[in-house]
Amino acid sequence: MAISCFANRAACRLQQKQVQGCIDDCTTAIHLLISDTTFDLQSDITDENSLPYVKRYRDNPAEGLGLLTCLTRQRTMGQDARKMKNAILSRILIRRGSAFCFLGDLQKAADDFAEVIITCSLVLSA
């Protein structure tokens, strides 16, 4: 859930031209996303044979993992968790790259946009 909070706040900050705050939020969201093991689950969350801890978070959302609902929705639409993780990463990188453009740091912007192209190719090839 923290990932989406940072990513959404970054989008708001970018819209308000608070570019350094946007960059900071995007960087935090990227670090959280990379370290988040929720997306690395290989079992189908909607399956009755799901791992017990996955069921616990699905049945007790107050315990955390607010992204699990979104993840379940995506899984039932035929997308796997890794595709979703790459799609979220792409959106965050685009926001951060746009913020770097506002600051005039075109090399960092180009690096983020290049990573988006690589990430998107992973989504399309999977």
Question: For the segment 62-117, what is each residue's pLDDT rounded down to a tens digit?
Answer: 444 444 444 444 444 445 777 888 889 999 999 999 999 999 999 999 999 999 99
Where residue 34 falls among pLDDT bands split at 50, 70, 90? confident
CA distances from 51 to 10, 36, 94, 95 (A): 33, 17, 34, 34
Given its phi and psi angles, is residue 78 left (phi above 0), alpha (psi -120 to 50 degrees) or beta? left
The pair of structure tokens assigned to 62 is: 């107050």
Which band of pLDDT confidence, cut at 50, 70 and 90, is reported for residue 49? very low
Domain covering 2-43+80-125: architecture: Alpha Horseshoe (1.25)
